[in-house]
Amino acid sequence: MFSTFFVNLCIMITFMYVSGIIAKFYSIRVPFPSIRVQLIGGILFGIYGTVLMNYSFSINESTIVDLRHLAIITAAVYLGGMASFISGVVISILRVVIFGLSSSAIDAAFVMVLIGLAGVYFSYASWSRLTKILTMNLFSMALIFIILLMNTTSINEFMKIYPVQLTISFIGGIFIYFIAEFINKSNELLFTLERRASTDHLTSLNNRLQFEKSLKFQLEYAREHQKRLSLLVIDIDRFKRVNDTFGHTSGDAVLKQLGQLLIEHARPVDIVSRNGGEEFAILLVDCDQQQALAVAERIRKAVEKYLFSLPDGNTTRLTVSIGVAVFPDNCDDKDDDDFFEQADRGLYEAKNTGRNRVCVMKKRSLPLPVQHRL
């Protein structure tokens, strides 16, 4: 009997580990995950609970005991009320399908649904996760006690089993808590490291590495689907004066504010990056030259009118120069580097012709192949 419950616990711990691996691919870093995540998680934990039923301990021909309720508790505490209810329903349905329809099966199914509904309340309670697990475990075991008592004819046999189930259930709940917290922290750390590797620490925009990855991906997509892709390369005019006059702290403040301005005036689908120093870039997805010039001009005017706030209470105004390139209109469509070089040439043209302007370069004429006489 003890070994059966211990196997239940080991299976649940294994499920938690597998769920932790799956969780890396879903957004579970918010208090209430999305409906899609809760739906998938609810079904998954419902299956976990059903597997536990196959390692149950029989009281009589129609009554079994196990730790399936821990799957519902875990879904409630770590995924949300919807996941809790779905897992309860899945376990209830599969209990009848696998073990047949009987009065005890109906009672057990009812209890699992009730625990799932209770999980909706517990998921919103402003308690710690450990408190939720312990309280919900106590509530679940009280319901299970009533149902088992109704479906057993041997009180002596029942009283031999239930204390063991109760003990292992609470030990299992505590084990699950520590394992789940460890998995959560590990996934959170991994997410933070991945984000830092692709994000500029100052502006929270994409960094140069992420920009290059996005550029490569978007160019491949544009080629494959015959779409246009535009690139804006943006540089702050005379930014050195800001650092020399107000200090580097003020320069950092300007860069942060400019990053927000670029996000506000770019389109929602566009990819904004800081490529280093005072240089920024924006990838305009599915955007032709006319649209790209319109976006660039909108950004240039917004920066020109904006009053940048400095940490010492002063304010300053700035301008930007912008180079524009459009794939495949004004670059070599077989050379990825040429796309960025064309935008960079546009930026230098804007700088050399007075700054605070937008320039797009025409496609460079490629050298004709040399014809050799035979």
Residues marked active site are found at: 278
Q: What letter represents residue 145's amino acid?
A: F
Interior CA angle at 268 toward 37 and 239, to 5°? 125
Taking the CA atoms of the chain, what radius of gyration do you get in angstroms? 31
C-alpha distances (whole Å) from 242 to each of 17, 281, 302, 309, 358 are 52, 21, 19, 12, 22
Taking the C-alpha atoms of residue 264 and residue 258, their distance in angstroms, rounded to an integer, is 10
3-state secondary structure of 322: strand
In 3D, which of 49, 116, 134 has the Cα closest to residue 79? 116
Report yes or no: 304 and 321 within 8 Å, Cβ to Cβ. no
Residues in the chain, total: 374
Gap between the Cα atoms of 203 and 195, Å rounded: 13
